[in-house]
Amino acid sequence: MDSAEEFIRHRELAFRDPHPESDQARSACLLLADTDVVHEVRVLGPNRLVVTYDVRQVTYAELESALMELGFHLDNSLVMKLKRTLYNYSEDTIRANLGLPNRCFGNCARKIFINHYRTHAHGCRDTRPPHWRQYL
């Protein structure tokens, strides 16, 4: 049996300017810390953070896609492109060897943050019983 520690990944996410928010890393940290799939998030600077997650639950590509859908500007330098490609290849290979599907087919932010959204109180809930919802 495989140990759980071999599937834990510590990856760096880098952001770039210009962005309306000067501290993108802190905002992304607050969003990612509230999800069930991310174990730990640490801010290294205004444009860098480290994410710890289990590759069996979520991939680096899904995390990046979710942040891009939410409007964050990710670093696209040559070094980050190389890291991103290596991370994605290694995680896709691990998931394929475990027989896990590649789950990121668009709307990754919705998939990652949906449970967080459901647990918070907001005005978008229909309080009527299910059998009354079909009537206006």
* DSSP reduced 3-state for 13: strand
**% of the chain residues with pLDDT over 70:** 76
Domains and CATH numbers, the chain: 4-113 (3.30.70.100)
- Asked if 18 and 41 touch (Cβ cutoff 8 Å), the reply is no
pLDDT at position 112, please? 64
In the structure encoding, which two tokens stand for residue 67, read together?
């942040």
Predicted local distance difference test score (pLDDT) of residue 78: 95
Q: What is the pLDDT of residue 122?
A: 63
Can you tell me the distance from the alpha carbon of 41 to that of 46, in angstroms, rounded to the nearest whole number? 14
Q: What is the mean pLDDT of the chain?
A: 81
Record the pTM: 0.71
Query: Higher confidence at residue 10 or residue 1?
Result: 10
Q: SS3 for 27?
A: helix
Q: 94 and 53 in contact (C-beta within 8 Å)?
A: no
Which is more confidently placed, 17 or 80? 80
**Looking at residues 15-41, what average pLDDT do you find?**
83
Give the pLDDT confidence of 44-100 residue by residue, as tens digits. Answer: 988 899 999 999 888 899 898 888 888 888 999 999 999 999 999 999 999 889 888
Report the C-alpha gap between 46 and 89 in whole angstroms. 28
Q: Does 135 have pLDDT greater than 60?
A: yes
Question: With 50 as the cut, is the pLDDT of residue 103 above it?
Answer: yes
DSSP string for residues in 43-68: EEETTEEEEEEETTT--HHHHHHHHH
For the segment 100-128, the average pLDDT, to the nearest whole number, is 63
